[in-house]
Structure 1
Amino acid sequence: MVLIAMGFEGSANKLGVGIVRDDGQVLANPRVTFVTPPGEGFQPSETARHHQQHVLDVLADALAEAKLSPKDIDVVCYTKGPAWVRLFVALVARTVAQLWRKPILGVNHCIGHIEMGRLITGAVNPTVLYVSGGNTQVIAYSQRRYRIFGETLDIAVGNCLDRFARCIRLSNDPSPGYNIEQLAKQASGDKFVKLPYTVKGMDVSFSGLLSFLEERAPSLIDSGEFSQADLCYSLQETIFAMLTEMTERAMAHCGSQEVLLVGGVACNLRLQQMVGQMADERGAKLYATDHRFCIDNGAMIAQAGIEMFRCGLTTPMSDTGCTQRYRTDEVEILWRD
């Protein structure tokens, strides 16, 4: 019997509903993004209103794309945490599960990224570099847990990119990180701003680098000494080198021959290139996906949820809330040896 899971993701500014079969086929994965004006971030209340306005349309799009009806869904999954925009998606998932009389599962957002990456790329047992707006971690599987070998000591890499984009008033459409990546490609590479480089063992820190740029970037651009492209290039080269170093250290510790990039920042081609070169030099292999599955989406929640459901797990309705504190290594991974 084929099982089908529906996943709801809306923990930040992306709202997605995905449908996945237990044979690994992604049947639908529509998504909409809340975009704010240049220089502005997104606030939880405004983001929740955006999700409220669009969720029924995205849900209908998912069912239509998959050519399914509610009776075909076996389990409803949602992002339990870490969730910056809390409650709303859990409320929708609870309502749908009760209306359709389906079991419900709360999914760890980070595990969703990892399981989606493994599904799409075919990576078997990789060291995982998880980089997004809210998270920066190097992870490896051991004894039924995804163990965190290194992480950010302050802000996440995606948050660092977003705040720098706001500092120089780049557009948030389609995303600040994407626009930084495109500008960096225009730089000649001759003008490089030396930035704070902070790697402590397997951990990294971005706050000093960001403070340096927030303080100096406007004057460097206004003086004509450096362009926006020069600063974007310098920023990317520095922070991606830090991430590559911490990942290589974890791979060496684990004896790993696979590295998987997941999270919204992981679709950056320069990051993929730098980590890929490191992997090649170690005789290892890089696995990465594109924006369809790197950026927050509903299918990743459905995929992790269906793995949990096949192990006999469900979430009691009384426990179907959201939390900002839900560590990757809190989840027991019953579906892997």
Structure 2
Amino acid sequence: MALALGIEGSANKVGVGIVREDGTILSNPRHTYITPPGQGFLPKETAIHHQEHIVSLVQQALKEAGVSPVDISCIAYTKGPGMGGPLVTCAVVARMLALLWKVPIIGVNHCVGHIEMGRIVTGAKDPVVLYVSGGNTQVIAYSERRYRIFGETIDIAVGNCLDRFARVLNLSNDPSPGYNIEQLAKGGSRLIEMPYAVKGMDVSFSGLLSFIEGAAAELLAKGEATPADLCFSLQETVFAMLVEITERAMAHCNAPDVLIVGGVGCNMRLQEMMGVMVSERGGSLYSTDDRYCIDNGAMIAWPGLLAFKQGQATRLQDTTCTQRFRTDEVEVTWRD
């Protein structure tokens, strides 16, 4: 039975996963680059972090899976989208392993990786997909061998919006700023009105972020809001926007089910709000926990293996990285 080893490192997490062709995840270790509170992560430092950990992660993945290099059928790596330096670091290691082990190499779209990971873990057949992460926000549905983008952010991603506001409050980046906003929001009780920018099927978060960044200090100083109130209000507003455009795509596609993928997809409040809307439409909501919705190697190994089983491989000279690699650029040959 074919096995794929996948390498993911498009942002601050580097992971290596090994997946069997029946969809069984044999191993999936990862390591996160965590910066001090109030700081983001830069490409150069993130790439250095990945360089320091990736080889040991490959060894750990093999050990946990109970396999050796001779058992690996193909190597999959994240071609994009993502940060240039971290992407290149992982591509170099993938090329090295493919040459050493004499196996094909396959470049995988990061967004497609999230979708296929969500489908195999949850069993969702043909849902509308809400893909929400630090770098991407898209509403997607499959049609004619492409994952079509029905709506997306026109400026910053929802995860980036949350992360940047976490810096304003000087929240910890461990395990992630978005997670710490979610926990703090549970103690909020006052809903502060914020800009709500839905433009057809698209959303905009930059104006909302500018508003709350500017208003936070004044509201806190006057005692008119607590940090918990601000986090609560931010979550309620941005998630309502996402639920709205997702429902619009469901109506357009006549699809009853929704699959949430990406790092922000772990947020239980987002799942709760989406679940209410989906249940009212008579459908099912599919989501995963942080093992699979946060960037990981298995989500790259699995679509790489699907492509490999269709006879696909990437020529060595084409194993480059594309920072702006659109979801709908990929021909999805493994679906009808």
TM-score, normalization: structure 2? Answer: 0.98
**Distance (whole Å) between structure 1 residues aligned to residue 316 and residue 222 of structure 2:** 59
CA-CA distance at 1:193 after TM superposition: 1.0
CA-CA distance at 1:87 after TM superposition: 0.8
- Aligned-pair Cα RMSD in Å: 0.7
In the alignment, is residue 185 of structure 1 matched against residue 174 of structure 2?
Answer: no
Provide the residue aligned with 2:44 in structure 1: 45
Write the letter of the residue equivalent to 2:117: M
SS of aligned partner of 1:335: coil
Provide the residue aligned with 1:268 in structure 2: 267
Write the letter of the residue equivalent to 2:287: A
Provide the residue aligned with 2:12 in structure 1: 13
**Distance (whole Å) between structure 2 residues aligned to residue 7 and residue 222 of structure 1:** 48
Name structure 1 gaps, 5 residues minimum: none
Name structure 2 gaps, 5 residues minimum: none
Provide the residue aligned with 2:204 in structure 1: 205
SS of aligned partner of 2:97: helix
Is this contact kept in 1: 2:82–2:135, CA < 8 A? no
Matches within 5 A, 1:306-325: 306-325=305-324
Deviations along 1:160-204, one digit per CA (max 9) or x if unpaired, are 0000001111100000000000000112x2x11100000011100
Write the letter of the residue equivalent to 1:90: A
Write the letter of the residue equivalent to 1:265: V
Write the letter of the residue equivalent to 1:184: A
> Which 4+ residue blocks in structure 1 deviate beyond 4 angstroms?
none
Write the letter of the residue equivalent to 1:313: Q
CA-CA distance at 1:86 after TM superposition: 3.0
Provide the residue aligned with 2:100 in structure 1: 99
Write the letter of the residue equivalent to 1:228: P
**Distance (whole Å) between structure 1 residues aligned to residue 244 and residue 158 of structure 2:** 14
SS of aligned partner of 1:128: strand
Among the aligned pairs, what percent are the same residue? 66
Provide the residue aligned with 1:136 in structure 2: 137
TM-score, normalization: structure 1? Answer: 0.98
Is this contact kept in 2: 1:168–1:218, CA < 8 A? no
In the alignment, is residue 305 of structure 1 matched against residue 304 of structure 2?
Answer: yes
Provide the residue aligned with 1:231 in structure 2: 230
SS of aligned partner of 2:151: strand
Deviations along 1:16-43, one digit per CA (max 9) or x if unpaired, are 0000001010000001100000110000
Provide the residue aligned with 1:112 in structure 2: 113
**Distance (whole Å) between structure 1 residues aligned to residue 167 and residue 94 of structure 2:** 33
Provide the residue aligned with 1:87 in structure 2: 88
Deviations along 1:240-290, one digit per CA (max 9) or x if unpaired, are 000000000000000001100000000100000000100000001100000
